[in-house]
Amino acid sequence: MKKLQLDHVLRAAGRITGEKRFVIIGSQSLHATFPDLADDIVHSVEVDVIAAARADRTEWLNAIGAYSPFHESFGYYADPVDETTAILPRGWRQRLVPLPTGETDGVTALCLEPHDLALSKYAARRDKDLEFTAELARRGIVNCEQLRSLLEIMPVSADVRRRIEADIARDFARPRRSG
């Protein structure tokens, strides 16, 4: 998804909910820290989004969600989620990154810091998540030591922590590339 498409989703989300601020917790949150990132790493067609002030209005975003007329018209959509959707390290809210200003009609978004995002993907561990974390490591978007430090404050079992540590080690053992 391109930044302009993300802006479009936020504009629509603001109109539907009356809210002016959202939190993005999925891969599209990379647009905040890396606005010029190559499209191939932010290729997902959905935006995982939460209404920041009134989370109860997040469900209203199903109007522009998967299989909606909005999705059918534009090929991308909002995925209304909540704070329990992703397993995140403690303090993630304090590390949120503002999305750069765009064509959003005054709607703003706060996005996961890339290390928090990566750890949420390591915890989810779907095939697409493992491909994503490997790419984050290969491109130097995340730092191994920062991931390990944040993993220490992640609310997961010892078994899950060991699994994530192994996945991080695997990703950082691969050759790095830039871009």
**Annotated domain spans of the chain:** 3-113, 115-173
Residue-wise pLDDT for 10-22, tens only, equals 999 999 999 999 9
Side-chain half-sphere exposure of 117, counting CA atoms within 13 A: 29
The whole-number pLDDT of residue 47 equals 95
Mean pLDDT of the chain: 93
The whole-number pLDDT of residue 1 equals 86
Radius of gyration of the chain (CA): 16
DSSP structure class, residue 127: H
The SS3 call for residue 15 is: helix
The whole-number pLDDT of residue 175 equals 66
Residue-wise pLDDT for 23-54, tens only, equals 999 999 999 998 877 767 777 899 999 999 99
Residue the block writes with tokens 């994530």: 164
The whole-number pLDDT of residue 108 equals 96
Residue-wise pLDDT for 151-176, tens only, equals 999 999 999 999 999 999 999 997 66
Any residues with CB less than 8 A from the CB of 157 and at least 6 apart, and which? none
- In this prediction the pTM is 0.92
The SS3 call for residue 64 is: helix
Cα distance between residue 98 and residue 173, in whole Å: 31
The whole-number pLDDT of residue 174 equals 73
| 178 confidence band (pLDDT: 50, 70, 90) | low
